[in-house]
Amino acid sequence: MRLRHIEVFQAIVQAGTISGAARLLNVSQPNISRVLGHAEQQLGFALFERRAQGMVATAEGCRLLPEVQALYSQLQSIGALTEQMRKGEGQLVRLGAAHAFGQMVVAPAMVAFHQQSALVNVELVTEHFSTLCRDILENRLDFALVFGQQVSGELLAEPLFQSSMVALLPRDSRVEGPVSLTWLYENNLLMMQSQDPLGQVLHRALRQQALKPAGSLYIKTYSVIADMVLAGGGVGVVDLFTARRYADQLKILPIAEPLPFEVMLISRRDHAQSRAVARLKQVIRNKLGHIARESEARFMIPATADACCATDYSAGDARAQAPPGW
């Protein structure tokens, strides 16, 4: 039986008459009779008996009925699902982000996205880079907002923005910027871990100036560095977004030597993105650019937020080792 045969069969069972089935399907009675006749001719047996009180299913029709009703129910479910998809209802986007982006970028972006797409559900996870990459590869996340560094060939990297790190000093410091790496080093610079994407840049710059970190603390989470500066533990170097969060509590200064970092979106290379994912990505791009421009102006960092970075972070590409100028 073809799908049209099944649709007409179900309609006749439901309505009990040819005319009733025609009204249910919004077609003419001859159309229903023609499709039913074609179905019975192909099957080689009658599906209904024509009686004065209407159409009554034959023994063969009664045997088919449970299977037809189950299939018809599935077809209705498919129709309802496609209508939900058309309207954007019931969709789920699973977003990951580095901790530094959670409050200053992702939170306002999610609010803006919800105002535009209230019927789309969003799940947010903030984690470190390696965990986010693993979750994407294992299909637990659709995409993630991270700092730029090399990714495996299975992941697609979309560079969004490039800028320079800034220095964090106690609020009452009398020092004015820009400050040098040597000055930071001499004033108890709190260190990032060397395998961290921003930590790699900082450690490389220190090595180039023959400055060897003297401290025993190597910190992975940038907000912890800011909290330690607040607690009087020294001075720090962080990204613009972490600095923006602490701008009313600490003194933020530019650094004389550029310490560039990049921001990118990562996702599975072999997975097509949904319309909801594409919309959320665009909201994040817009929010990131707006916050970045404001932060660069506030902290006197040369503006680069409008420039589209072309760094390829895919594994095996010679350009994947570092953004231009690193």
Is 38 a domain residue?
yes
CATH code where residue 110 lies: 3.40.190.10
Final residue before a domain boundary, out of 70, 87, 104: 87
Q: What is the mean pLDDT of residues 146-172?
A: 92
Per residue in 214-257, pLDDT (tens digit) is 767 889 889 999 999 999 999 999 999 999 999 999 999 999 99
User: By three-state DSSP, how is residue 29 classified?
Assistant: helix
User: By three-state DSSP, how is residue 123 classified?
Assistant: strand
Is 116 a domain residue?
yes
Q: Do 105 and 234 reside in the same domain of the chain?
A: no
Q: Specify the DSSP element, H or E, that contains 25.
A: helix 18-25
Q: Do 181 and 255 reside in the same domain of the chain?
A: yes
Q: Do 255 and 284 reside in the same domain of the chain?
A: no
pLDDT of residue 323: 36
Final residue before a domain boundary, out of 40, 70, 87: 87
Is 326 a domain residue?
no
In the predicted structure, residue 325 carries a pLDDT above the cut 50: no
Q: Do 205 and 63 reside in the same domain of the chain?
A: no
Q: What is the mean pLDDT of residues 52-60?
A: 90
Per residue in 73-132, pLDDT (tens digit) is 888 888 877 877 776 666 889 999 999 998 889 999 999 999 988 888 899 999 989 899
Q: Do 158 and 169 reside in the same domain of the chain?
A: no
Domain range spanning residue 151? 92-162+261-298+307-321
In the predicted structure, residue 318 carries a pLDDT above the cut 60: no
Q: Do 228 and 268 reside in the same domain of the chain?
A: no
**156 band by pLDDT with thresholds 50, 70 and 90:** very high
CATH code where residue 68 lies: 1.10.10.10
Q: Do 249 and 174 reside in the same domain of the chain?
A: yes
Q: Do 53 and 75 reside in the same domain of the chain?
A: yes
Q: Do 205 and 187 reside in the same domain of the chain?
A: yes
